[in-house]
Structure 1
Amino acid sequence: MADIGLENERLIMEKLPEYIDPVKKKQALQETEKIFRSLEDMPQRSKKWQDFLYMPLLTKPKTDYHSVVPVTIEKSNRVRPYWKSLLDQALKPLDEFELVSVADYGAVGDGKTDCTEAFKAAIGKGNRRVFVPAGVYSIRGLKLPSYTALIGSGVERTILKLADGAPKKEKLITNQNYVKGNQCLKISDLTLDWNVERLSKNENTSAGGTSSSGITLAHVQFACIQRVKIINPGLHGVDITSIRYNYFGDGRRSVLGSRFVWVDQVEASGFGDDGITTHHSDDVWISNSYLHHPSGRAHEKGYSNSNGIEVDDGSQHVVLSNNRTAYCFGGVEIKAHATSSAASDTQIVGHYSKQDNRAYNFRHIGHHRDEDRYSQSAYSIRATYLVADSPQKTELYVGSAPRALVVSAYQKVAVHHFVAIETSLEKDPIAVSVQYRANQVRLKNVQLKGYERAGNPIRIARTTENIKIE
C-alpha cells in the first residue's frame, strides 16, 4: 500500500509550503490556539428534570462543554493528541499474545470457500493475534472480542470479502458485545470488500442504523485501525459509534459510545454514505487517510449527503490530521441532525479537499433559521492548513452549489491558513459562506485563487455575529 500520509502531505505542501516544517507548523498551531482562546466559550446548559426522561432509551444529557488541550507536533512533523500514550499502553499487551493463522483453522483464500467458521475458531474468545495470509477470503461478517488483533499480510495481498449470500445489513467487521462493550482491538494490513455486487444494481445499499458498513466499532475503548482499504461499503467505510444513534433532541447524547480510537492510513471508496464517520464517541483520531468517489447509494438519488469524513451527532474531542478527500458531497463535514446534539470540539490539522462539492461544511441542521431554536451544542472548531481545491457541482446532491467553506450555526470557530482554488465555470463563485446564526468565527491567512471574477466571494449573512476574516 502506498503511503497515503506522504501523498497527503505533498499535496497540502504544494499549496501551503510551510506545512512541511515542524517548527513553522507548531507556530501556526500556537497562533490558531491564540485565536481560538480569544473567542467566548459556549454557555453551559444547566440540567433540567426533563433531561432524565429518556434514560431507559440509552440517552443522556450533554454535560461536557470543554475543549481539550491542542494537539502537539512531534519532531517527525506528525500530530499527536494528548491521549496517544494512553492508547499505546492499552494496546501493548496485544504484542505478547499467541499468534495464530486462520489457515491453521481451515481458512482457504480462494475467494469461494466460506471461511467464516475458520475465522471464528482462530479468533476464539480473544487474547490472540490472528494472522490472515495472502488470499481472498469469503466471510459472512466477523465479531471481534476484547484483546484481539486481526492482521493481514498487506492491503494488496489479503482481502476479506462478504459472501454472496450475506444480508444487506451485514457489517464486514465489528466488535462482539455492544452492551458490555469491548476493549483493545486492532485491525490492520488488509482490504475489506463489502461485495456490493451481490445487490441489484439500483438497490439502496444500507439497511439502516449502524448496519451495512465496512468496520463498525460500537462501545469500544482503545482500538486502532491501520493500513486498511475498504471497497464499496453499503453505508460507511468506518463508523466509530455508540450502539444506537440518538434522535431525542439537541442537548442529548447516546450512552455506550466509543473512546480512544485511532483510524490511520485508511482508504475508502464507493461508500453509500460516508467514508469515515463518528457518532456519540469521544477522543477519536483520524489521520493519513484518503476517502473518495462515494456511490451515494444509501440515499435517494440526487440527495446524497455523502461525505469523505463526517464528525457527526454527539461526537466530542475529535482530531483530524493529514487527510485527503475527493469527489464527495462534503470533504469534511462537522455536523448533527436536527434531533441530536452537534459534534463539538474538533481539531483539524492539514486537509486536502479535491473537487468535493462542499470542501468544509460545519453545520447543525434544523438550528439555522430565525424560526429555529439556537443550537445548544454546535461549538468549538480549530482548523489549521486547509486546502479546498476546485469545489465542484456533483450528481450526489444536485441542488447544492460548490463552496470551499460553509459555517452554519456553529460558535467559536478558528481557521488559520486556508487556501481555496476556483477552477469551475460558475458565473459568480462563492468561496466562503458564514451564515445562519454562526457566531464567534475567525478566519486568518485566507487565500482565494481564481475567484477574481467573483463579485463577492466571501458572504457573511446578517444573522451572524462577531465574524472576522483576514
Structure 2
Amino acid sequence: MTHLKENQRLLTETFPEYQSSRKKKQAIQETERAFRTLKDMSKRTKKWNDAFYRFLLTKPKTDYSVAPPVTIDEKGAVRPYWKGLLDQTMKALGHLVETVSVLDYGAVGDGRFDCTEAFRKAIGNGKRRVIIPPGTYRTRGLRLPSNTELIGAGIANTTLLLADEAPKKERLLTNQHHVKGDHHIRIANLTLDWNVGRLTKEEQTSSGGTSSSGITLANVHFAIVQNIKVIDPGLHGVDITAVRYNYFGDGRRSILGSRFIWVDEVEVSGFGDDGITTHHSDDLLITNSYLHHPSGRAHKKGFSNSNGIEIDDGSQHVVLANNRTAYCFGGIEIKAHETSSAASDTQMIGHFSFHDNRAYNFRHIGHHQGEDKYSQSAYGIRATYLAAYYPQYTDLYVGSTPRALVISAYQRVAINHFFAKTTPENNPGEIAISVQYRANQIILQQVQLEHYEQAKREVRVAQTAHHVSIDQYADDH
C-alpha cells in the first residue's frame, strides 16, 4: 500500500468525511471562512540598514500576504494555486531531455564499486534523464544541474549508497549551483542510504548548515521529489532551502531561496534532525509522505528538536496534505529561531500524528514571553483534519511534556476538525491543547478529545493569549 492510501485510510478512520472530495471541499471552505474573520498582523516597516544586509545574503520580509485556499481536483488531491504551473513546466522538461542509462557510463550496481564518476558523466551538463536500473550504487555524493531527471526503478529496487569515504558534511543529492541557482529537476523512484554506519556511534551526525542531508535543494525553482525513501540522513531527509540560513533578525529572510517545489510520497527514518524541512523558500507542496523514528543524533543527546515535518525560518506559502508522522519530537512544527523570521502562511489538509511528543507545535522561539519582542512574522496557519494519537514522552528532548497541540506567538490561526486521543492511564496532569505565550487571533473548531477526562485542564489558554475561540468542543470517552 502506498503512503497516499495508508495515510488516507488512517485519516478516514478518524474523520469519515475525509474520503469524500465534496465534504473535504466543504470543510476547507469552513476553515477559510473562519480564517477570514481573524485580523491580520501589522506589517514590518522598512529600516535604514536593509540595503546593507543584502551583502550578507538577506533581505527584509515584505510579503505579508496569504495564498488563496487550496482546491481539490477530481481525484481528491490537494492543489495550491501554482500547481498547474509546475505541472506544465515539468511536462515540458520531459520533451527537452535525452534519456540515458547510468550503466552505459560504467556504473555497477553491486554496492561496492564507486559509481560517482559514472553518474557525473551520465548527468553531464544537464538536459538528461538518467535511468538507474535495479541495484545498489555507491557514490560520494551527486550534484544535479538544471534540466535533469534522476529516475530509479523503484525504492525497493534502486539504492544510492553514500560511500564510506564520504565526509560527514556530504549530501547524497543536491543541485549543482547553489549561488547561481538551478531549475527543473526531478528525482524519483529511489532509496537513498546516507550510510550513517560509517560514523562512530558516539559522534553527532551533522556538520552544520545545509550539509549532511539526503536531498538538499538550495536556490532551485521548479522541482519534483517523488517516491523516495531516505535512510538515516545525518541532518535532514529532504531540505528545501536558500543557500544560507538567515540569523540576522526577525523581519529578515535569506535571499536565493527555492520556489515551486513538490515533495510527494517520501519516507524518511533515522534522521538526525528533521525528516522534511523548509527554509526561506516559497510555494512548496509536501504530500502523501511518512516521517518516523528519528535518531536525533544531529544534536546533543536529550536536546534534539527532531520533527517529522518542520516548516522553518522564513518559509512562506507552504501546503501540507495527507501526511503522517510517528515517534518524533514534533509531528509538524511550524516555527523559527529567535533571530530569524518565522514561517508564515501554511495550509494543512489531513495529517496523522502517532506517538509524537508534540503532535503539532507552532512557535517563534524567543518571541513569546513577557520580556521578549513581539514576533513580526509568525502568522497565518490554516488547518483542516488534524489527528493526534497518543502524544507521548520522548527521550529525544528530555524536558518536554506531551501535547497534541501547542500554539505560541503565532497570530491568525484557524484549525477545523481536530482530534486528539490519549491512553486512559496517562498522567492526570496531561494537557491536550495549550494556547499560550502571546498567541493571538486563534479559532479552533470541531475539536474532539478522547480519554483526557483525567486531565485537570484538557485545554489551557494562557492569560497572555488573546482572542481565542474554541468551538464545538467535545470530550468523547
Whether TM exceeds 0.5 here: the answer is yes
How much has 1:140 moved relative to structure 2? 0.3
**Mean Cα displacement is larger for which, 454-463 or 418-427?**
418-427
| 1:36-85 Cα shifts (integer Å, max 9, x gaps) | 00000111122111222311000000000000100001121110111111
Measure how far apart 1:325 and its partner are. 0.1
The residue identity in structure 2 corresponding to 1:307 is N
Give 1:93 deviation, angstroms: 2.7
Decide whether the 8 Å contact of 1:94 with 1:128 is kept in 2.
no
The residue aligned with 2:475 is: none
Aligned-partner SS, 1:54: helix
**Correspondence for 2:442:** 441
User: Corresponding residue for 1:352?
Assistant: 352
Aligned to 1:383: 383
What CA distance in whole angstroms lies between the structure 1 residues aligned with 2:243 and 2:67? 25
Residue 94 of structure 1: aligned partner: 93
Contact map agreement 2:443 2:468 (CA 8 A) in 1: yes
Q: Is 1:365 equivalent to 2:365 in the alignment?
A: yes
What is the distance in 1 between the residues matched to 2:93 and 2:84? 15
What is the match of residue 331 of structure 2?
331
Q: Normalized against structure 1, the TM-score is what?
A: 0.99
Distance in 2, Cα, partners of 1:8 & 1:394: 23
- Equivalent in the alignment of 2:431: 430
Structure-2 residue corresponding to 1:43:
42
**Could you say which residue in structure 2 is the equivalent of 1:456?**
457
| Runs of 4 or more consecutive aligned structure 1 residues displaced over 6 Å after TM superposition | none
Question: How far apart are 1:90 and its partner, in Å?
Answer: 1.4
Which residue of 1 is the match for residue 410 of structure 2?
410
Q: 1:287-326 to 2 correspondence within 5 Å?
A: 287-326=287-326
Write the deviation string for residues 353-403 of structure 1: whole angstroms up to 9, x where unpaired: 000000000000000100000000000000000000000000100110000
In 1: Cα distance, 2:427 partner to 2:324 partner: 24
Which residue is 2:2 aligned to?
3
Summarize the alignment of residues 217-296 of structure 1 with structure 2, pairs less than 5 Å apart. Answer: 217-296=217-296
Paired residue for 1:198?
198
SS in 2 for 1:24: helix
State whether structure 2 residue 343 is matched by structure 1 residue 343. yes
In structure 1, distance between residues paired with 2:12 and 2:427: 27
Aligned residue for 1:53, secondary structure, equals helix
Q: Would the aligned equivalents of 1:71 and 1:79 in 2 still touch at CA under 8 Å?
A: yes
SS of residue paired to 1:466: strand
Are 1:94 and 1:129, in contact at CA under 8 Å, matched by a contact in 2? no
Give 2:474's aligned residue.
none
Letter in 2 for 1:27: Q
Q: Distance in 2 between matches of 1:174 and 1:256?
A: 15
- Name the counterpart of 1:134: 134
1:467 maps to 468
Deviation larger for 421-430 or 268-277: 421-430
SS of 1:368 mapped into structure 2: coil
Displacement after TM superposition at 1:132 (Å): 0.2
Distance in 2 (alpha carbons) for counterparts of 1:74 and 1:147: 28
Please give the secondary structure, in 1, of the residue aligned with 2:49.
helix
- Indicate the SS of the match to 2:384: strand
What is the rounded CA distance, in whole Å, between the counterparts of 2:440 and 2:78 in structure 1? 28
Aligned Cα root-mean-square deviation (Å): 0.7
Structure 2 alignment gaps of length 5 or more? 472-477
TM-score by length of 2: 0.98
Q: Percent identity?
A: 67
Maintained 8 Å contact 2:428/2:456: no
> 1:197: how far off?
0.2
* Alignment gaps of 5+ in structure 1: none
Task: Give, as a single letter, the amino acid of the residue that structure 1 aligns with 2:63.
Answer: D
Q: How many pairs does the alignment contain? A: 469
